[in-house]
Amino acid sequence: MRLEGALPEWLRGRLIRTGPGLFRVGDVEVEHWFDGYGILYAFELGDRLRFKQRLPRTRALEAAERGKRNVATFASDTKRSLFARIFKPVPEITDNVNVNVVPWRDGAWLAMTESPHHYLVDPETLELRERERFDDRLPATMGMTAHPQLDHTRSAVVNLGTTLGPKSAIVLYRQALGSRARVVEARIPFKRVPYVHSFGLSPKYAVIMDHPFRVNPASMLFSNRAFAKHFRWEPEKGARLLRVDRETGEVTPYDCPPFFCFHVINQFDDGDDVVLDFVGFDDATIVDQLYLPELDRQFPPATARPLRARLRKGHARAELEPLADVRMEFPQVDYARRHGRRYARAWGTAIGHRDGKDSAILRIDLEHGDVAMHDEPGVVFGEPVFVGHPDGAPEEGVILTVGTREGRDESILRVLDAERLEPIATLSIDIALPLGFHGNFARAR
Ligand SMILES: [Fe+2]
Per-residue pLDDT reduced to its tens digit, 210-266: 999 998 877 766 566 667 778 899 999 999 999 999 999 999 999 999 999 999 999
Query: SS3 sequence, 223-277?
Result: CCCCHHHHCEECHHHCEEEEEEECCCCCEEEEEECCCEEEEEEEEEEECCEEEEE
Question: How much distance in Å is there from the Cα of 100 to the middle of ligand 1?
Answer: 7
CA of 85 to the centre of ligand 1 (A): 30
Instruction: Tell me, in angstroms, the distance from the centre of ligand 1 to residue 119's CA.
Output: 17
User: Ligand 1 mean position to 81 CA, how many Å?
Assistant: 32
Q: Give the least confident one: 72-81, 127-136, 192-201.
A: 72-81
pLDDT reported for residue 355: 87
245-277 as b/e, with b when 16 or more CB fall inside 10 Å? Answer: ebeeeebbbbebebbbbbbbbbbbeeeeebbbb
230 φ, ψ (degrees, to nearest 5) = -90, -10
Give me the chain's average pLDDT, please.
Answer: 92
Overall pTM > 0.75? yes
Backbone angles phi, psi at 335, to 5 degrees: -60, -45
What is the rounded average pLDDT of the residues 259-286?
Answer: 97
Q: Which domain holds residue 214?
A: 2-443
Tell how far the Cα of 331 is from the centroid of ligand 1, in angstroms.
Answer: 9
pLDDT tens digits, 6-51:
999 999 999 999 999 999 998 888 888 988 999 999 999 999 999 9
Ligand 1 centroid distance, CA of 263 (Å) = 6
439 CA distance to ligand 1 middle (Å): 10
Closest CA to 76 of 112, 21, 35, 39: 35
Quote the Cα angle for 16-21-27, to 5°: 150
Q: What is the pLDDT of residue 404?
A: 95
Q: Angle at Cα 137 formed by Cα 131 and Cα 141, nearest 5°? A: 55
Task: Give CA 254 to chain center in angstroms.
Answer: 24
| CA of 329 relative to ligand 1 center, distance in Å | 9
The count of domains in the chain is 1
Query: Distance between CA atoms of 423 and 4, rounded to whole angstroms?
Result: 10
- 47 to 6, 65, 367: CA distances (angstroms): 12, 39, 39
Spatial CA neighbour of 415 closest among 390, 389, 438? 389
Instruction: Please report, for the domain that includes residue 194, its CATH number.
Output: 2.130.10.10
Return the minimum-mean-pLDDT range out of 3-7, 50-54, 113-117, 384-388.
113-117
Beta bridge mates, 400: 385, 415
Strands, sheet with 329-332, edge to edge from the N-terminal-most edge strand: 329-332, 345-354, 357-365, 371-374
Report which DSSP code applies to 66. Answer: T
User: Cα separation of 370 and 360, whole Å?
Assistant: 16
